[in-house]
Chain A
Amino acid sequence: MRIRKSITRIAAVLVWAACAMTAIASMEPTDVKAPAAPSRLSETGLYDAEGVIDRRNLPFVPQYPLWTDGAAKMRWIRMPEGATIDVSDVDSWRFPVGTKMWKEFAWGGRKVETRMIWKAAENDWVFATYLWAEDQSDATLAPERGIANVVEIGRGKRHSIPATEDCHACHQSSPSIVLGFNALQLSDDRDPLAPHAEPLPPGALTLRTLTKAGRLYPPRPDLASVPPRIRESDPVARAAIGYLSANCGGCHNDRGPLARLGLVLQHDAAQDGAQSVPAPEPARVTSVDAAGRYSVPGIPVDSSRIVAPGAPDRSALLQRMRSRRPSSQMPPLGTVIPDSEAAELVRRWIESLNATPRDHQ
């Protein structure tokens, strides 16, 4: 029954804004802890005394970069001298205490923010982000609640510095706190179709260099000799699923709080080479022809699928990738501009799927 006429106006201009959001949004929760991170980026150890990147901080480039509205990114990691990464669970690397990682975001050639995650103690990761000064001389620690709309990055679109709890939303939902530094992302078998792929800078860490330097424990020479890759023979499918693993798998995995949804978009490196017949990618198994909780608007609910084989318009995953409206956009945070290149890649993959969607090879 349509009850449009039965809707009664119960409030008008600014009531809710005044009473429920504007006034109280500025209130802080009562149990906020002071950040333990230094107040300036220059004090975190990223730079040496000369103001250049400290040589102990090594660059790395995930083969499937996270989309952040076209930001140019640079990334570095520092681990304590001689320390190793525990890779006994290859899908959940455990980093030594003292590990720091930084990621710099720039638009139009200007640095906007640099984020840092720091394993200050066992089970204690510090998340911090620094807002660059206009003169680009240094960056200042942003407040825990973040800073909205700091710079225009597209017509009518502005980038916001994330709140600490936004960091937690993804980084604490995955088997490993660190998302962009893992077996698939550092594989030397890099995907030539990965959207927004970046060239490796000199000295960049990969599985091969980590293995050679003895930084992985227990030793896994196989990760260098048979590097992990998305288990798809079709290049488009490989790139699409790789992209989804990097951009969506942080939350949509089988070990975090959203595991109960049954949508697993994260690659499982443990299955690489585990069987003579490659295991299907979790993304394919759990999304193709699967009915999700979200239905594509404007079509019968029972025809909507997370990924509808051969039918991008009935595929909720693609519709939500293309959306930047709050109640439907995916990812739900960290981006205000759709990734049109990736959406086109995923569209091509969905269109290529036929009536035997689970036949992955």
Chain B
Amino acid sequence: MKKHSILSLSAAAVFSLTALTLTLHPVAAPAAVQNTDPKVTRGAYLVKIMACNDCHTPWTMGPQGPEPDMTRMLSGHPQDMVVQPLKLGKGWEWAGTGTNTAFSGPWGVSFTANLTPDSETGLGKWTEETFIRALRTGRHEGQGRPILPPMPYPMYRQATDEDLSAVFAFLQSIPPVRNRVPQPIDPPESE
């Protein structure tokens, strides 16, 4: 089948191409960077270099190719975009949507979270303590279900409290976007 032919690329090559694609276009500086609070400014910088927009901002096709849609900055997987699990081969295979916000793999389907300060659908009611705890433990809300792939929390958990605090300060400063991200979809029982 045609779609399976894509898999003929080697894993390393695919990863390289993906990484290249996601970094071709510089991410526009978010509005909140204008905030003069040094902590917020530091957080904006960290969010940029930690590539949070690569997955938490939906990607769209722009005039120069795919790019994050900064009108929906860090608002996570669009709530109206319904995604079904893909039937993948055995072993460790996974796939993502063109928005780069939903990922199907052995863990089921994961959706990137709304990181904006919307009080109902984002991090508006989160505390800094909960945010840091989530990244340290790799658990939703710092104590719930595991944060699912491909969120690279094992890397981010190594950040200092000061840096994670700055990231949280920045995330609380950006425009809230009301977007209720779907709950993860479990894999079939047999898996």
Contact = CB atoms under 8 A, between A and B. Distances in A.
B127 interface: yes
Contacts of A258: 141, 143
B93 A3 contact: no
Nearest to A173: B143
B145 A329 contact: yes
B135 to A, nearest CB: 10
A332 B97 contact: no
B82 A2 contact: yes
Contacts of A6: 97-98
Nearest to B126: A260
A124 interface: no
Contact of B148 (A7, A251, A326, A333): A326
B142 A11 contact: no
A177 B182 CA distance: 33
Of the four ranges (under 10, 10 to 19, 20 to 34, 35 or more), the interface on chain A belongs to 35 or more
A293 interface: yes
Contact of B145 (A13, A31, A326): A326
Interface string A249-289: 00100000110100000000000000000000000000000
Given A27-B154, A29-B136, A297-B185, A14 B11 contact: yes
Given A3-B81, A13-B92, A27-B154, A327 B104 contact: no
B146 A169 contact: no
Interface string A9-46: 11111111111110011010111000000000000000
Contact of B92 (A7, A8, A16, A251): A16
B146 A327 contact: yes
Interface in B135-177: 136-137, 139-146, 148-150, 152, 154-155, 157-158, 160-161
Contact of A7 (B97, B129, B137): B97
A165 interface: yes
A15 B14 contact: yes
Contacts of A15: 11-12, 14-15
Nearest to A328: B186
Contact of B183 (A8, A18, A24, A295): A295
A294 interface: yes
A260 B82 contact: no
A323 interface: yes
Interface residues of B, number: 62
Nearest to B86: A7
A355 interface: no
A27 B15 CA distance: 22
B125 interface: yes
Contact of A257 (B97, B102, B130): B130
A155 interface: no
A9 B160 contact: no
Contact of B84 (A2, A18, A169, A323): A2
A9 B140 CA distance: 26
Contacts of A251: 143-144
A3 B102 CA distance: 11
A326 B184 CA distance: 10
Contacts of B97: 3, 6-8
Contact of A169 (B10, B142, B157, B183): B142
A156 to B, nearest CB: 12
B95 A9 contact: yes
B18 interface: yes
Nearest to B105: A16
A325 interface: yes
Given A8-B95, A14-B92, A173-B143, A3 B82 contact: yes
A170 interface: yes
Contacts of A333: 139
A169 B15 CA distance: 34
A55 interface: no
Contact of B149 (A16, A18, A24, A27): A16
Given A4-B83, A7-B104, A332-B139, 19 more contacts: A4-B86, A7-B83, A7-B98, A8-B95, A8-B97, A11-B11, A11-B94, A12-B7, A13-B11, A14-B11, A15-B14, A16-B149, A20-B154, A25-B154, A165-B137, A257-B127, A293-B183, A325-B187, A326-B107
Interface of B: 3, 6-7, 9-12, 14-15, 18, 80-84, 86, 91-98, 100, 102, 104-105, 107-108, 110, 125, 127, 129-130, 133, 136-137, 139-146, 148-150, 152, 154-155, 157-158, 160-161, 183-187, 189
Of all A-B residue pairs in the complex, the 5 with the closest CB atoms, nearest first, are: A327-B184, A169-B143, A9-B95, A325-B186, A24-B154
Interface of A: 1-4, 6-21, 24-25, 27, 29-31, 165-166, 169-170, 173, 251, 257-258, 260, 293-295, 297, 323, 325-329, 332-333
7 contacts: A15-B15, A20-B149, A20-B152, A165-B137, A257-B127, A327-B183, A333-B139
